[in-house]
Amino acid sequence: MDLQAILNTIFDEMQGQSDRGAVADYIPELAQVSPTHFAMSICTADGQSYHVGETAVPFSIQSVSKVFTLALALGRLGDQLWTRVGREPSGLAFNSMVQLEHENGIPRNPFINAGALVVTDAILARNAPREVLGEILRFVRQAAGDDDIHINHRVAKSEQATGHRNLALAHFMRAHGNMHNAPELSCGVYFHQCAIEMSTRQLAQAGRFLMGGHAPSRLLSPARVRRINALMMTCGHYDGSGDFAFRVGLPGKSGVGGGILVIAPGRASIAVWSPGLDAQGNSRLGTVAVERLAQATRWSVFG
Ligand code: GLU
């Protein structure tokens, strides 16, 4: 299978797409990003990598960071984490509040914002935010095998200034005893983890620990790798998760920066970036591109 030829064909098709979606504008810094960027990278289990487009340009990984913090939290707290956050798809928007009220401050899953805030709060424990952010960065850099990965502080500040919904979610969970640190602290760490920037080359590299298969990762046990993949499949695209599973058939986690990390278990780690989003806040062309890749490679976990 000629993966480079497949990527080149996908790239050509994406260049001709006129409906690229709209960049996220609720975080002012992200509204500045041009919707014309496109990049896609694949790292395969046999150590090869394939790239097309602007694969060295760093972008805001946003909610893709939730995969790394979940891995960190599971490694540290183990299954205890599941007393504070569920494992069911929400069927609602990433920043929805209504379910939390009905479900007593226990978020449905670790990938909606409320769930990710709980995960970050759990990692924070009683440590200093700066130290914990350092730990998150170290984990991501180690996963990528690349130290040149940084936080964009302008993006973090921009989200901090406008992140009222996230603060509201955190305060609500604090009222239910499910937020152990001051909401401003946990949200502060969360805004900074979301503002980590990576290129698709770095993100595809960083996703290798989730490939499983013959080369188990030193970062996380195979059982936990399987579980994170299950959650990515069922919850990784918010209320678009069912559609992503239907179209692509692979576990994936999107971010409002337009990036998606997709895992073909035992085969490959894939990163795609196109900043224009669909109505659910997932990369529009990114989704089409991985749909094409899954068709061409027959990598869908459903055969
Ligand atoms: N930082 C974003 C927020 O909390 C992440 C959302 C996303 O990437 O889906 O609103």
- 262 in the same domain as 177: no
247 domain residue, yes or no: yes
Specify whether 256 is catalytic: yes
Q: Which of 94, 235, 241, 253 is the pocket-test mutation for ligand 1 (most atoms within 8 Å of CB)?
A: 94
Cβ-in-10-Å burial (0-12, 13-18, 19+) of 121 comes to buried
Query: Where a domain ends, among 167, 194, 221?
Result: 194
- 185 in the same domain as 77: yes
Selected catalytic residue, list 23, 67, 199, 238: 238
Specify whether 157 is catalytic: no
pTM over 0.75: yes
| Assigned token pair, 36 | 């014309």
Selected catalytic residue, list 140, 248, 256, 272: 256
Name all residues whose Cβ lies below 6 A of ligand 1: 62-63, 94-95, 113, 159, 166, 194, 255-256, 281
How far apart CA 271 and CA 264 sit, in angstroms, is 11
- 225 in the same domain as 171: no
Residue type at 167 in one-letter notation: L
Determine the angle formed by the axes of helices 113-124 and 164-175, rounding to 10 degrees.
70
Task: Return the pLDDT at 43.
Answer: 97
Specify whether 238 is catalytic: yes
303 domain residue, yes or no: no
Determine the angle formed by the axes of helices 183-194 and 65-77, rounding to 10 degrees.
130
- 278 in the same domain as 216: yes
In a structure prediction context, what are the per-residue pLDDT tens digits for the chain, which is 303 residues long? 999 999 999 999 999 998 999 999 999 999 999 999 999 999 999 999 999 999 999 999 999 999 999 999 999 999 999 999 999 999 888 888 899 999 999 999 999 999 999 999 999 998 999 999 999 999 999 999 999 999 999 999 999 999 999 999 999 999 999 999 999 999 999 999 999 999 999 999 999 999 997 767 889 999 999 999 999 999 999 999 999 999 999 999 999 999 999 999 999 999 999 999 999 999 999 999 999 999 999 999 998
Nearest alpha carbon to residue 30 among 116, 114, 117, 154? 154
- Provide the domain count of the chain: 2
Query: Where a domain ends, among 161, 194, 227?
Result: 194
How far apart CA 177 and CA 193 sit, in angstroms, is 23
Structural domain boundaries, residue 17: 3-62+197-297
Coil vs helix vs strand at 221? coil
- Distance from chain centroid for Cα 16: 27
- 159 in the same domain as 46: no
- 9 in the same domain as 156: no
Query: Where a domain ends, among 194, 219, 236?
Result: 194
Instruction: Take atom 2 of ligand 1 and give the residue whose Cα is closest.
Output: 62
- 254 in the same domain as 153: no
Nearest alpha carbon to residue 6 among 252, 233, 268? 268
- 178 in the same domain as 88: yes
Specify whether 50 is catalytic: no
CATH number of the domain enclosing 211: 3.40.710.10
CA atoms within 13 A on the CB side of 248: 30
The residues, ordered by sequence, that sit 6+ positions from 127 with a Cβ below 8 Å of its Cβ are none
- 57 in the same domain as 38: yes
- 91 in the same domain as 75: yes
134 domain residue, yes or no: yes
